[in-house]
């Protein structure tokens, strides 16, 4: 295997509060290959969005990276100065957020937002940037792209706005796209279209995608591999088909209990009894132990390390590799 595009190694993120430092991410590790689509799943609060934000260096105050490394295109980016990080954002790493209705500046025309992004990173003049913007709008499937340049965000439906957001994310041909729940806020009827578009464009631009979602159906449909997060850690990672068919970590097994298809009502992954511990209230040892049917006394001693088995890995000391 060639050098990975992105390598996240034991990443820690903490929020500095009056009641002490809260570890939101506690040793997140995974890597992504060039052109790969990696799904990131897990319950609400597991740290999926935070992982994406840490990569682009946009963690909300008062959070900060407190350990580990992020290596992207062969260089460390977790300790870059903000000016250098800005050059990566939008240029080498594109981002798509959950809610297209609020992602676009309501007071700026679609075309201007595209041209602005393109010109922030590429040495193009206004006319060239405009041409590129029109081409991008065409590529994401907006009919009559040239006429749409002058449109305002509020004139578009949610699905169309998400297409514009995708065009913005792809504007400078990034090698990595971070898509944080790109379809959660959309109508069920357009979710599948957007996922298909994202997949097609990522392939066409040879971009990798870190696809954050609650929806195992989306993962099954779009991702090559999947990483399962629980309480600030990756607890299992492997090829989608393997993880879905034969989940290794007991938590993954709980998740895969029922996989809704894209066209069904989105399942909110609530079938596992109990709740994920809040940050600051995580137990010693395996954080899943209080809910785990397989838990043994030794699970509560120390946090289980990732155990590798071929293309798969999981952080469980009880369950044997499948």
Stretch 289-308 residues interacting with other proteins (CB under 8 A): none
Q: 23 is in the binding site of which of other proteins, Mg ion, ligand ATP, none (Cβ under 5 to 8 A by kind)?
A: none
| Cβ neighbours, 10 Å, residue 196 | 13
Stretch 89-118 residues interacting with ligand SF4 (CB under 6 A): none
Stretch 185-224 residues interacting with ligand ATP (CB under 6 A): 214
Q: 318 is in the binding site of which of ligand ATP, ligand SF4, Mg ion, none (Cβ under 5 to 8 A by kind)?
A: ligand SF4
Q: Is 307 in the site for ligand SF4 (CB under 6 A)?
A: no
Q: Is 44 in the site for ligand ATP (CB under 6 A)?
A: yes
Q: Is 228 in the site for ligand SF4 (CB under 6 A)?
A: no
Q: Is 265 in the site for ligand ATP (CB under 6 A)?
A: no
Binding site for other proteins (CB under 8 A): 56, 58, 86-91, 95, 97, 99, 102-108, 116-117, 120-121, 152, 154, 165, 168, 171
Binding site for ligand ATP (CB under 6 A): 15, 24, 42, 44-50, 60, 63, 214, 279
Binding site for ligand SF4 (CB under 6 A): 249-250, 286, 288-289, 292, 294-295, 299, 304, 316-319
């Amino acid at each position: 295997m060639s050098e990975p595009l992105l390598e996240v190694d034991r990443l820690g993120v903490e929020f500095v509060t009056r009641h002490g430092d809260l570890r939101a991410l506690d040793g997140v590790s995974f890597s992504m290959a060039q052109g790969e689509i990696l799904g990131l799943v897990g319950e609400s609060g597991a740290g999926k969005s935070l992982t994406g934000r840490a990569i682009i260096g946009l963690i909300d105050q008062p959070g900060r990276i407190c350990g580990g490394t992020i290596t992207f295109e062969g260089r460390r980016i977790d300790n870059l100065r903000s000016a250098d990080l800005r050059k990566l954002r939008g240029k080498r790493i594109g981002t798509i957020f959950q809610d297209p209705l609020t992602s676009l500046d309501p007071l700026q025309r679609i075309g201007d937002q595209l041209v602005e992004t393109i010109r922030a990173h590429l040495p193009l003049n206004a006319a060239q940037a405009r041409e590129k913007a029109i081409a991008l709008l065409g590529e994401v499937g907006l009919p009559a792209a040239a006429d749409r340049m002058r449109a305002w965000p509020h004139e578009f439906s949610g699905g169309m706005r998400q297409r514009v957001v995708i065009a913005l994310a792809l504007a400078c041909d990034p090698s990595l796209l971070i898509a944080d729940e790109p379809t959660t806020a959309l109508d069920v009827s357009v979710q599948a279209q957007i996922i298909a578009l994202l997949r097609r464009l990522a392939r066409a631009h040879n971009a990798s995608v870190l696809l954050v979602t609650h929806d195992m159906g989306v993962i099954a449909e779009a991702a090559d591999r999947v990483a399962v997060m629980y309480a600030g850690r990756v607890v299992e990672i492997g090829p989608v088909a393997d993880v879905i068919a034969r989940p290794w970590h007991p938590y993954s097994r709980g998740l895969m209990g029922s996989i809704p298809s894209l066209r069904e009502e989105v399942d909110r992954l609530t079938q596992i009894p109990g709740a994920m511990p809040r940050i600051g209230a995580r137990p010693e040892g395996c954080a899943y132990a209080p809910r785990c049917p397989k838990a043994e006394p030794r699970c509560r001693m120390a946090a289980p390390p990732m155990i590798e088995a071929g293309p798969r890995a999981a952080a469980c000391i009880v369950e044997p590799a499948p």
